[in-house]
Structure 1
Amino acid sequence: SSLCCRSTQSSSAVCGDRSPQTAELLWVLLQQSEELDSLYVANDAGRMLMVTRTPAPAVRRIERDAGVTTETWDYKPLNDADGDTQSRYATQRIEAYHSDYDPGSRSWFRQALAKPVPVWTVPYVFASTQQLGVTYALQSPRSESDGSAQRLVAAGDVTLGRLSEFVRLFSRTGYGDSALLSAQYDVLARSDVPGVVQALAPPTTGVLGAIHARMLADGSATGTAAVGFGLDHGGRRYLVQASRVPATGWRLISWVPEDKLLGGLRRAVLWSLVLVLGFLALILVVSLRLAKLVTTPVENLANIARRIGHLDVDNLRRVDSRVLEIQHLDQALDDSARSLKAFRKFVPVDVVNQLIDEGHALAPNGSPRRITVMFTDVEGFTRISEAISTDVLVGQLTEYFNLATRVFARHGGTVDKFIGDGIMVLWGAPSDLEDAEYKACLAALELHAEMDALNAAWLAQGMQEFKTRIGIHTGMAVAGVLGSNDRMAYTAFGDTINVASRIEGINKDLGTRVLISEATCAGLGGRLSTRRIDEHVELRGRQTRLVLYELLTN
């Protein structure tokens, strides 16, 4: 850029009879300088001569006479790279019109006249192309053909698109990425993101943003010396080198992942060993290959074993290996998975996994906790079981239990056990549950709504209906792993459990569907409709009477 502008500086006049020779010289210089987008000269009389590639190859003249400015565009052929210089300079068409463009008011002109040395402008939008770019300009006093003394400014434009091409070309020579920042810390070009910079702003995100923040913090962003440092970002370590571009105030920043750079060094060392050791390196490669044939299946088997440890035995892939011992281990794990798949149907898998994740020892233990307990029962189940065949009864029970289990799970309930046709469900165990009373009551209402639909379908098929009665109570209970050394189960026991069971039984006497205790009702906070039972109810085996509420459908 400097060489072209200095050649332009020593060229002929901007206007007059010798301006065509100047234009042709500028054209030749531009064709030989791919890094430039335009090249031009201007004087303080408001005249300018420019050759440009964009928006189309052309010679642009600004003439100022008697206060009137005329702008002329002499368009040249497009995409004629195979032709000679003369054919590429042939005129295609000419456009001329009055213009208010004044080169003397442009920042590049004023800055060049203000300093005796070449200047680089800050990025700005070019008037001719509406693209972001920078201008390199230098001044020189000149005498025009008419003998008048004029101050001349020669300049060259570089768009941010050209700078982006330069930065990407620079980055392709190494392992990392690069970016060019202005003296005001705005990003001019970068290789780590596609496209051209469309708006000037300092980097704030990604690796470049972290580098810029680090340099601002340690003061190296304002220094003139080249700096290098290591930076940790996004789980990777980067090696960073930053240096200032002379005369511009810009800073070129390059960064490369340390593992990528060292990986290249490791490959170089490996190839050196191959060349020096030869046969030993071949044996090493073969040994590593054989080791991989063993370690990969073992890693896959370890992953399968971890899944089995969490009772996750669905869609386990078999491990293919030629090693006999690995085949035996794969078969053993497959047998274990099939056994556990059957075992899962008899234990609450979610409860077991939750206990393991929370660090509970799967040994007899218990702790007091506040829980909400629900008991369900099918009205007249004995009569129903006598009236239909065993196969039909089992089928209906299975469909009922599946529906109920899904409803309870949606509302955070844990099915403790199935008791004949009844179900015991816990809210707040094994883990604490916020708003357990409300969620249990919502589950009860949803269960009745879905059972009403299922009963209607059963009746339409001539089958018996299951009218479900529910009792809910909230209080303290002992919850934990109980049982013998040979057989254990997670459950809860205590007065709260007994009261909930007996509340469910009172539905039969009162003709209600869902009864809840006063403690459970207090937890609702009036969010669901309830009806207080007028008389205090006496529970069998208890001396005190309870205040009960019927849970109503909203």
Structure 2
Amino acid sequence: MVTLLAVVAGTLIALGFYRARTVALENVQQQMVAFSDRLTYRLAAISNDTSTLVGMIGSVPNSFLSPPRERLDNKVAALREALLRSRHIDGIYVGYPDGSFFHTVSLADSAWRQVLKAPAQAALAIRIIDRSKGNPLSSVIFIDIGGKHMNEVPTQPTGYDPRTRPWYFTALQQRGMVATGPYQMATTGALGMTISQIHRGNPAVVVGADVVLTTITDFLKEELLTPGSMAFIANEQGEPIVHSDPVMMQNILSALENRDVDAAPDNSGLSAKLASFSGNEGRPMRITLRGRDYLILATKIDNAVLFKGDRIVIAAPYDELMAPANRMAAEGLAIAGLIVLLGIGGALLLASMISSSLHRLKNGADQLQEFDFQTPIVVPSSITEISSLSQAMNRARDAIFTFALFVPREIVRKGMESGSFSSRTAARQQVTAIFTDIYDFTTISERYPPEDVVTMLSVYFDVLNQAVSAHKGTIIQFLGDSIFAMWNAPGTDDDHAENACLSALAMQAALAEFNEGQRLKGLPEFQTRVGIHTGAAVVGNVGAADRLQYTAMGDTINVASRLEGMNKTYGTSILASAEVKARCSDRILFRLIGFGQAKGRHTEIELFEVTGVRSL
């Protein structure tokens, strides 16, 4: 026994250790995916905001088609709110085919304010390059936060020509929304990109916006999983273009500025490995680089104009990721091992005394849970407490058996699970209710002795109960010769309306066989009418403190009862409401009867006869 327990304990400890590492790895992978998703969403948000503004300016005829100095107030009004609200947009500009240039700059950036020597109250700066007089002349107009012109810096010659910039000629070539960069902005030194497109009113005019990527680089630095982790955005060739390491980022920018791709850092060998991720985007992979294992996740960017087609790469040393989990697992497993060793001795002492008896008691409890009242619970034991418990379980079995004869078993099961039958509580929920009635039952009762009527009713109720139970329903009450059955309470049933209709059809089919037996015995046939309605009802335990009844109340239940009686008016057997049809018309066949007035209701009910089941 000791050897067996030791083997089992050792196996459990090994499985626990393996499971702990697996869970830790799954958590790490989820963190990496979440990090990648957050970065992707941030890129998409920045792209969408900027693209929407550029698209708005470039999609409809407006003042931006006129030369830079014309309709200046209209241009400022169109851009002022967008620039003040979107801090990631460095500036918005328009390049014209003659080399003229209109540029609106947000002065929230201290670098722009210092370079342009802007007044303290200025919120925007308008940079204009005018070529109307031949030589390009540059001037700056300062605008306050309310859109009012403050002052203008005198014109001076400039060598800037927008037609030579990548954002201009790339937009002309691709004839759509394009992104260029990233690059280090000449004026502010910030990392940025440009989103541009041609103006639909004049395909030689290009609208562009500079996007500051500081939030992206900060996000990469701050969200790293471990000290040795790295995150970067790589182009389709696997070359990093935005990096979480500031020094690495500066090297990348220097290489891009010099157009020296070979001078870009190889990112500790990660770039050479990116080609192997072409079929594994979105799934973390474990690879070995320079003798160290890394967990790497590469995710392609498809939902943003910025970096579209590039990939987000997250790489973290495997040993750093798993170090906390390994420590916790080792400590937990050491404690578990000690407890197991101590428990072996106690288990051996007690197992031979009580294990057999407890196993039998457990089987007896399972019998009660499954409503098996036929098998007695016999647990012979020299331990007084176990013997007493066995007797108590037999008494409980007899009590539950008797109780289950008067209450639907599903209600008994719920009471057993909750441990109490005495709570007077009710709650509103969606249910489907059925009411049945035997046509001309009063005449049958007058013609036959009460004993015969009770016998016939008992067999009849067996038939209905089987049809209800077979389709997940519960008979809540027997009301004379009628029954009240309900679906979706007390047990849940997502297809409660469909199952109720199937049950009603099953009742009619079973009653045909029942009535055949009645005819052979010379007894009256039972013609049953059924009403079905779906809706909200208050369901629960209702009654006095010492006498409860599980039932449902409300207009839904009343309508179901009225529908049963309306069968007599329309010569039908199964009447259902429009609410029932709406839930299961894809499976059940209905015939429209029309609108009818139910007794006691002010509004009419749309009536449908349940006629069968649709063939699949």
TM-score band by shorter chain is 0.3 to 0.5
TM-score normalised over the length of structure 1? 0.46
Going by fraction, where is helix more abundant, 1 or 2?
A: 2
